[in-house]
Structure 1
């Protein structure tokens, strides 16, 4: 049985995918993992590969999701992105995003 945090996180990722697709992103991967690193969503727009961290909150607060990403999480995203690009070489610009 899933706990509340997993259910909330999955619903947040579902909402993030809908939002990203609505603004023109093409979703390539969800929950992409390598070793102990994970990237929530990987998308592309023309010429740009996006590595997206999803921050889901219960409640009505509208805080900027990037404010809740610490330097350790950012470092892990960067390492995961390097692994992704090693496995899937790309000449596209890369972007690290939070929704």
Structure 2
């Protein structure tokens, strides 16, 4: 596995730990639907939360959350729709972004943007 993939996996672990500390219940990680994935699916006070995690070593060139493009929002929306249908969920759904900036051996910064985007299909 390349460094980029290892960094992303580490960032998702940091994000999941952060969410657990806030009292979220993690339902799934890396849930896959037709070459699309949901990084983290969690529950927060009766709301289904779909979390896109973006990890960067640093933000020298751009903020990590800027990597959530309209194409990525569409992909997440399609996968979230499939998830809701597969599990028969009839709850409110929220889409968040968590950015993790840093490296496993050093300090890191976690930013959580709730209601970061509206889904579209």
Please name the residue that 1:16 is paired with: 15
Q: How many residues align?
A: 97
Work out which structure has the larger RCO, using CA pairs closer than 8 Å and 6 or more positions apart in sequence: 1
Equivalent residue number for residue 54 of structure 1:
53
Write 1 or 2 for the structure with the bigger share of strand.
2
The TM-score with structure 1 as length reference comes to 0.90
Q: Over the residues paired in the alignment, what is the CA RMSD in angstroms?
A: 1.5
Of Structure 1 and Structure 2, the greater helix share is in 1
Give how far 1:64 is off. 5.8
Judged with a 3 Å threshold, the aligned counterparts in structure 2 of structure 1 residues 94 and 64 are, in CA distance, closer, same or farther, namely farther
Report the 3-state secondary structure (helix = DSSP H, G, I; strand = E; otherwise coil) of the residue aligned with 1:24.
Answer: coil
1:42-88 deviation per Cα after TM superposition (whole angstroms, max 9, x unaligned): 00012200111000010266x76433210000000000000001101
Q: TM-score if structure 2 supplies the norm length? A: 0.75
Note the alpha carbon deviations across 1:16-51, whole angstroms, 9 max, x for none.
001111111100000000111100000001220011
Gaps of 5+ in 2: 99-121
Q: 1:97 to 1:64 in 2, by over 3 A?
A: farther
Q: Which residue of 2 aligns with 1:72?
A: 71
The answer to whether the 8 A contact 1:65-1:98 is kept is no
